[in-house]
């Protein structure tokens, strides 16, 4: 019964939005907005509610929304104009336009690259090696966990995949060695490791554009709405000072505010050394994967010099992985997570672009035009950062959060006097990764770590609020001035 209600809610809310103008103002749409634009908005809101509630797979929700809009012929450019005739072919071409988006292919390719790390065992080897070197103290082990995630983050755009596949198994193997279980001595070492695993993954999700899938999705939506932000290297440079600070302080901050009872033990390093020894010598596929990963990193960092886009680099890596038999074609075809994400994000990019096509965002900009006048631009920017970041409390998916909010904030950024919209949007988007720490459901890996039961629910929310507050404070004090300084020197997408 519960599932049926969740399934009906998007439809009910979408219909309620659609009929609201008739009930309250006696017209099919608010003044200045066409009936078709309001119809499209009602479908988009239904999509957002569906993504939040997830009564069915999110990718399927996206497909349904696109199909409905294609059938109604709303969404393509000009479809919000009264009397404009949209052909069935034009509607279909618009509905499929998201699947030709370069960013969507970058996300898809990066998931496939992640298969190489998992299949070859390279990710596990890197993790165990670092635990061997840094695991003699609990604090050192915290840094080992953070470094593992940081090394994998540029290549695996799902913190759930990289944390779930590499960090989480190591943490849950170490803690029981010291009789630290969710229902017995969790604070001995398990709670600390679990929290560092989550928090460090959130930080690395902000450091790299490819650290989490919502990052490139947000930039794609922003560009669809007329604002060019930056590329992979520009994102990295824009977040670099804050990223270094947050990466360094995260294990240390957790060590003081949520201290482990066990401060150090040789047994951790000995266990990791034994596990590493069991792996045997590094294999040829692992060497190939390592070389391909390093090549990809060089091409991503030097994209401006080599004149190769980030998406092209990712596709080159996949071709090389297949050519060197790191993965085979069946691995590529059977990667359900990658294909599911491809369909999901392809539909979301299409739907987000439709908001501008039907004229809704222009109407919203006119609505807000002048409302921010008279406010100090820096103060207004900080208010937008806080508002945008705290909205995360209301979303159980980073993707739903991006889809529902980013296009709206593009409009607000364009209406903010005395500022550069590209600068504003970059400042708003950079914290998206680390703000996933705020709730047990805020990002892909959160449910995994929360579900371990090492950190109780109330404590999880308390730690999330504390870490989010520290992270945002560092970002506002250091990140905003730095972005304003560095923006003229970084390339725009």
Q: Are residues 412 and 382 in the same domain?
A: yes
Task: Tell me which residue range forms the domain holding 29.
Answer: 1-95
Q: What is the pLDDT of residues 205-246, one digit of tens each?
A: 999 998 888 998 899 889 887 787 888 889 999 999 999 999
Q: Are residues 11 and 152 in the same domain?
A: no
Contacts of 229 (CB under 8 A, 6+ apart): 219, 222, 223, 422, 425, 426, 429, 492, 493
241, 478 contact by CB (below 8 A):
yes
DSSP H helices, 358-450, are 360-368, 377-390, 398-415, 421-429, 446-450
Q: Domain boundary at 54, 74, 95, which?
A: 95
Q: How many domains does the chain have?
A: 2
For residues 324-344, b (16+ Cβ closer than 10 Å) or e, as one string? bebbeeebeeebeebbbbbbb
Q: If you ran DSSP here, which 8-state letter would residue 27 be given?
A: S
Q: What is the pLDDT of residues 19-51, one digit of tens each?
A: 999 999 989 999 989 999 999 999 999 998 888
Average pLDDT over the chain, rounded to an integer? 87
Q: Domain boundary at 95, 119, 137, which?
A: 95
Q: Are residues 260 and 311 in the same domain?
A: yes
Q: Are residues 91 and 235 in the same domain?
A: no
Closest of 353, 401, 319 to residue 116, by C-alpha: 319
Residue 383 CA from chain centroid, whole number? 22
Whether the CA torsion 139, 145, 147, 150 is positive or negative: it is negative
Position with higher pLDDT, 484 vs 130: 484
Q: What angle do CA 140, 145, 146 make, to 5 degrees?
A: 95
Whether the CA torsion 418, 424, 425, 428 is positive or negative: it is negative
- How many Å from the N-terminal Cα to the C-terminal Cα in the chain? 47
Helix 138-152 to helix 232-257 angle (10° resolution) is 160
Determine the pLDDT at residue 433: 94
Structure token digits, residue 229: 């932000």
SS3 264: strand
Q: Are residues 434 and 447 in the same domain?
A: yes
How far, in Å, CA of 337 to CA of 107, rounded?
11
Q: Are residues 89 and 108 in the same domain?
A: no
> Could you tell me the pLDDT band of residue 101, with boundaries at 50, 70 and 90?
confident
Q: Are residues 90 and 123 in the same domain?
A: no
Q: Are residues 126 and 72 in the same domain?
A: no
Q: Domain boundary at 54, 73, 95, which?
A: 95
Determine the pLDDT at residue 250: 97
Q: Are residues 147 and 30 in the same domain?
A: no
Does the pLDDT at position 424 exceed 70? yes
Does the pLDDT at position 1 exceed 50? no
Q: Are residues 113 and 63 in the same domain?
A: no
Q: Are residues 153 and 291 in the same domain?
A: yes
Q: What is the pLDDT of residues 245-273, one digit of tens each?
A: 999 999 999 999 999 998 877 777 787 78
Determine the pLDDT at residue 12: 95
pTM: 0.74
């Amino acid at each position: 019964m519960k599932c049926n209600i969740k399934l009906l809610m998007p439809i009910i809310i979408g219909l309620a939005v659609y009929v609201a103008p008739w009930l309250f103002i006696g017209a099919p749409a608010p003044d200045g907005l066409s009936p078709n634009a309001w119809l499209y908005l009602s479908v988009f809101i239904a999509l957002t509610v569906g993504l939040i509630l997830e009564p069915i797979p999110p990718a399927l929700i996206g497909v349904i929304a696109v199909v409905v809009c294609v059938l109604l012929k709303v969404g393509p450019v000009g479809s919000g104009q009264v009397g404009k005739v949209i052909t069935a072919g034009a509607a279909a071409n618009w509905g499929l336009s998201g699947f030709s988006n370069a960013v969507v292919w970058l996300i898809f390719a990066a998931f496939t690259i992640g298969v190489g790390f998992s299949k070859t065992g390279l990710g596990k080897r890197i993790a165990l090696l670092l635990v061997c070197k840094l695991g003699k103290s609990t604090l050192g082990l915290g840094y080992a966990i953070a470094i593992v995630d940081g090394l994998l983050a540029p290549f695996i755009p799902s913190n759930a995949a990289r944390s779930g596949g590499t960090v989480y198994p190591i943490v849950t193997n170490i803690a029981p060695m010291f009789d630290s279980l969710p229902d017995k001595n969790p604070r001995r070492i398990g709670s600390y490791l679990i929290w560092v695993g989550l928090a460090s993954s959130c930080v690395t999700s902000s450091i790299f554009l490819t650290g989490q899938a919502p990052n490139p999705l947000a930039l794609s939506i922003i560009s669809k709405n007329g604002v060019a932000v930056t590329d992979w290297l520009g994102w990295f440079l824009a977040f670099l000072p804050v990223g270094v600070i947050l990466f360094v302080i995260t294990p240390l901050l957790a060590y003081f505010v949520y201290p482990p009872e066990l401060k150090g033990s040789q047994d951790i390093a000995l266990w990791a050394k034994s596990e590493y020894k069991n792996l045997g010598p590094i294999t040829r596929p692992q060497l190939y994967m390592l070389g391909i990963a390093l090549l990809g990193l060089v091409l991503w960092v030097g994209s401006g010099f080599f004149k190769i886009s980030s998406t092209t680099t990712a596709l080159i890596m996949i071709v090389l992985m297949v050519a060197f038999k790191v993965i085979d074609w069946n691995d590529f075809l059977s990667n359900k997570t990658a294909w599911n994400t491809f369909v999901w994000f392809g539909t979301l990019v299409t739907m987000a672009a439709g908001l501008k096509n039907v004229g809704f965002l222009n109407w919203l900009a006119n609505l807000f035009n002048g409302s921010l006048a008279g406010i100090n631009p820096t103060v207004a920017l900080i208010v937008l950062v806080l508002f945008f970041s705290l909205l995360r409390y209301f979303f159980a998916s980073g993707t739903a959060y991006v889809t529902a909010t980013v296009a709206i904030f593009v409009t607000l950024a364009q209406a903010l006097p005395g500022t550069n919209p590209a600068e504003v949007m970059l400042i708003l988007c950079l914290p998206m990764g680390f703000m996933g720490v705020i709730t047990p459901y805020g990002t892909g890996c959160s449910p995994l770590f929360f579900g371990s039961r090492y950190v109780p629910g109330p404590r999880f929310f308390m730690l999330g609020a504390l870490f989010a507050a520290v992270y945002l404070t560092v970002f506002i004090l250091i990140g905003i001035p730095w972005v304003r300084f560095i923006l003229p020197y970084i390339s725009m997408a």
